[in-house]
Each structure stands twice: as C-alpha cells, then as structure tokens.
Amino acid sequence: MRWKGNSRVLLMAAIVFVFLIPPATAQDHDEAGARIVGHAAADGWSAAFLEKLCDSVGARVTGTPQSQAAAELIFKALRDAGYQPRFEEYELKTAWRRGAAAARIVSPVDAPLLLGSYGWAPGTPGQIEAVVVDLGRATALNRSQDAASVKGAAVLVDVNAIGTEPSQVVRAAIAQQLARAGAAAMLIPSDKPHRMLYTSGYGFYPRAPLPILSVAMEDTLLLRRLLAKGAVKISLDVRNNFGPAARERNVVAELVGKNPKELVILGAHFDSWDYAQGANDNGAGVAAILDAARILKLVGTRPGSTIRFVFFSGEEQGNLGSQAYISSHGDEIAAIWAFIIVDSGAETPLGFISIAREDVVAPLRKTLQPLATLGAEKVRAEAVMDSDDAAFAMAGVPAFRLDVEAGDYEDRHHTIVDTFERVDPRALAANTAVTALAALLIANAPERPGRHLSSAEVAELLKKTGLESASQMLAGERNP
C-alpha cells in the first residue's frame, strides 16, 4: 500500500480534532467542520462498511439478488444513522447473467485463448468456430471492403482512444455494423495489464447485437503474430443469459435544511461488475457518501439547504438509476443547487470536476476554499460523460464529481482485482470528509454555484464539448 500524503495530514488533523475538541462546544461552523473531519478519519466506519458490502454481498450486477441485498444494506445503514430512507423503483428492461466463456485457438496452433464477455451481450449459439479478422483501429466498417470479409468471423477491433468520439460510442456503433454484416463476434483487446480482462455495458444495454468479448492483451498479441503469417481460426463457447424486465431501486434519504426545498445532492452508484467485488467501483463511493450522511447527522448540523443522499443502481448499464431519478423528480430539479457524485475510486482527494461547465468553476472554488487545508479545494471543468453526474448535467443542473489522484484506478477498473484489500482506508476517510464538508459548504453558501441551463443551452454545451454523441447514447436516442 502506498503512502498517501494528504491522507496522513488528514489523519493527524483528525486525531487533534477528535481528542481536543469536546463535542458539546461544537456550535459554530468551524467546529462542525473539525468534527466531521475527525469522525471521518477516526471512526473507521467507511472502511468497515465497505468490507461488509464487499465480503457479505460481493459483486452487485444490476438486476441480481446481490443488487437488491446491497440496496437493503444501504437502507439499513441510513436507518441506523437516524434517517428515514426510502426506495425509489424503476424498470430494468432486461436482466442479464454471465455464463462460462471458453475459447481456444484451433489453427494454425492449438492454444488457450483468454477472453470474457462484455455485459448485456449475448453468448454464442453453442460452440462455434470462426476465422479471426483484424480491423485494427478502424472507427467504422468500410462497407465495400470489410463487410464481406467479416461475415461469420470473430472480428478484432481496437476501440480505445480512436477517432474523436468517446470510445463507448465508437464501440457500440461498430458492434451494430458488425452484427449487420453477419460477424460471429466482436473481439476487443483488453488494455489491462497482467492478462486481465475488462467488461462494461455502456452502449450495450438493453441487448448488444452480437457477442462482444474482451480478449487479454497478451492473447491479442499472439493472435496478431499468427495473423501476420496466415489464417487463424478459433473456437468460442460463450453462455450468457438474458432475463425478462425487472424492478430496480435507488435508495434515497435526506438531512432537512433550513430551506427544506433547496437541495444539494450527494450521489454514488452501488451496482458493480461481477469479475470481483466492486470495491473501488463503486463500493468506495457508496461507503464515502453513506459515512458522510452518518457523520452529518451525528454532529447535529442543520444545513442551509437540504442535503439529499441518493444511491443509484444501474449506472454500469448507462446511468439507468440516475436517469430514472431525473424522470421521476421533474418538479424538484430546479431546486437542486448542486449534484456531486463520488465514483472515481478511493484515492487522495484533490477537489471537484464540473461536468463540461466552465461558468461554475470560479463560484464553487470560492465556496470550497476551506477545503484547502485538506488539499481538496481545486475545481476544474472536464468534458466527461461516464457516470451518474451526466444525467444531472444533461438536465441542466450544476453537476460535479469528486476529483482524486489517479492512482491505479484504471488498472483495477472492471477487472478481477477490484477487491476490498486494495482500497486504502485513509484515502476513503479523506474522500468521506471532503465530500461531507463540500455538501455542507454548498448548502450553507449564500448563493448557488451556478444557474440551471435550459435544454437548448445544454444541447449547445454538449455539442461544443464533444459530448453530443455520448449523451445521445445514454438517452437512448442513438441508433448507430
């Protein structure tokens, strides 16, 4: 485990705060802040909750009993903290279960081939054999040349960082083109180290048009060395299952403010992928927000605006839970001062990222200045559209995400090593403290960090920042 500079400062600060400041004197704002930091670092609650979530529930794929169990664990934790939580249901169009995925190279050599399915993708019709066609970094299928050659083939396509569109948009578009051309499967080289596979469902829910398979990088290199010398044939046997429509749930609770109708929302998705425990993505975010809720209640602070906590399912299928939240809270959307998501893993916090909007950066920076003692006062804008903050940004709400040091998040993301013991409890405590303080500072600020954008302004912003296709995909408006 690496040493985290800011976490060390936080821990030392916490020890001072917790033991030197008696709770009875914590009346003013500064003392409330000190107590929040102290409880986050000293109680060990977030790490204990994360361990329970990971080891007693485990992977939480949307639509599974484990997802239901996670929602209940969150509900209970909120109730134990003194809240009156509620479930908010929405419909999941299709459920999906991963089955076994077996593959071999059958010619020109007999060799194992390590691959695994993307989410919400079908399996193969039993065991099949297919020639491998390599399209490399193609951004689209060239109809005249490629369409005939991919019929019945397992087609390798590098979809990471090509072209100007986000990779999940390119990936979904090429999958549709390959299916129409009659390809047997789409093979996507994994960009993870140590022969690890990747999985995702963005752009594929409610059903991918053909088997989509992550192939280990080392195995991809072998396939390409063999292809350089001649034809390559593989066998594939992938057994996924789709289920009928199902109900899914978000979990919601709130700390009522002096202006109860004004809202600051903290959110985290609790669903995960199934290769491991979903510890960093996004058990860590859930643990941080839940602990923030627990501590804000514990210190007895009454915020200016109401602070609402929302735990989403369905994020991994394309922000289903957060989009359902937006659809069912239409009349309240205008009252949201800010939405903050924690979904970047437990690493040392740096500040907050505004989703594509520059105009909210300076006002939020001013409000969050007190976070400078924790090194987490930085605010910047970035054009990203890959988590639940997108649903709020698309509705015109000033939407932010906790920004953290990169760490090894990308290597662990959606792989077999997204496991509990790799999460640093000190970084998790720092995330908890920073998120709780940020919510309180915004809720107590004299004015909002920014106005709401009209739908025309949102459309213009998405176009200007290159997020138009990604937002259309999430909204289900894109038919590649």
CA triple 427-433-436, angle to 5 deg: 135
Per CB under 5 A, 281 contacts Zn ion: yes
The least distance separating Zn ion from the CB of residue 266, rounded to whole angstroms, comes to: 15
Instruction: Pick the closer one to Zn ion by CB: 43 or 316.
Output: 316
For the four alpha carbons of 13, 16, 22 and 28, in that order, the dihedral sign comes to negative
Per CB under 5 A, 291 contacts Zn ion: no
The least distance separating Zn ion from the CB of residue 272, rounded to whole angstroms, comes to: 8
The least distance separating Zn ion from the CB of residue 473, rounded to whole angstroms, comes to: 17
| Window of 207-215, 281-289, 346-354, 394-402 that interacts with Zn ion by CB under 5 A | 281-289
| Window of 218-226, 274-282, 377-385, 464-472 that interacts with Zn ion by CB under 5 A | 274-282
**DSSP alpha helices (H): ranges in 21-142?**
29-42, 45-52, 65-80
What number of helices (H) and strands (E) belong to the chain?
A: 15, 18
Which of 250, 282, 306, 323 binds Zn ion (CB under 5 A)? It is: 282
The least distance separating Zn ion from the CB of residue 386, rounded to whole angstroms, comes to: 8
The least distance separating Zn ion from the CB of residue 402, rounded to whole angstroms, comes to: 12
| Window of 143-151, 342-350, 351-359, 378-386 that interacts with Zn ion by CB under 5 A | 342-350
Is 45 in contact with 211 (CB distance < 8 Å)?
no
Strands (E), 161-315: 185-189, 212-215, 233-238, 241-243, 246-255, 259-269, 305-312
| Window of 78-86, 324-332, 338-346, 401-409 that interacts with Zn ion by CB under 5 A | 338-346
Distance CA 374, CA 365 (A): 14
CA triple 96-102-108, angle to 5 deg: 140
| Window of 40-48, 139-147, 177-185, 273-281 that interacts with Zn ion by CB under 5 A | 273-281
Instruction: Pick the closer one to Zn ion by CB: 410 or 457.
Output: 410
Size of the site for Zn ion (CB under 5 A): 3
Q: Which residues pair with 312 in a beta bridge?
A: 269
Q: Phi/psi of residue 304, each to 5°?
A: -60, -60
Instruction: Pick the closer one to Zn ion by CB: 317 or 432.
Output: 317
The least distance separating Zn ion from the CB of residue 387, rounded to whole angstroms, comes to: 6
Contacts of 411 (CB under 8 A, 6+ apart): 192, 193, 196, 417
Per CB under 5 A, 343 contacts Zn ion: yes
Report helix, strand or coil for 471.
helix
Per CB under 5 A, 64 contacts Zn ion: no
- The DSSP bridge pattern shows strands 128-134 and 233-238 to be antiparallel
Per CB under 5 A, 403 contacts Zn ion: no
The least distance separating Zn ion from the CB of residue 282, rounded to whole angstroms, comes to: 4
Site residues for Zn ion per CB under 5 A = 281-282, 343
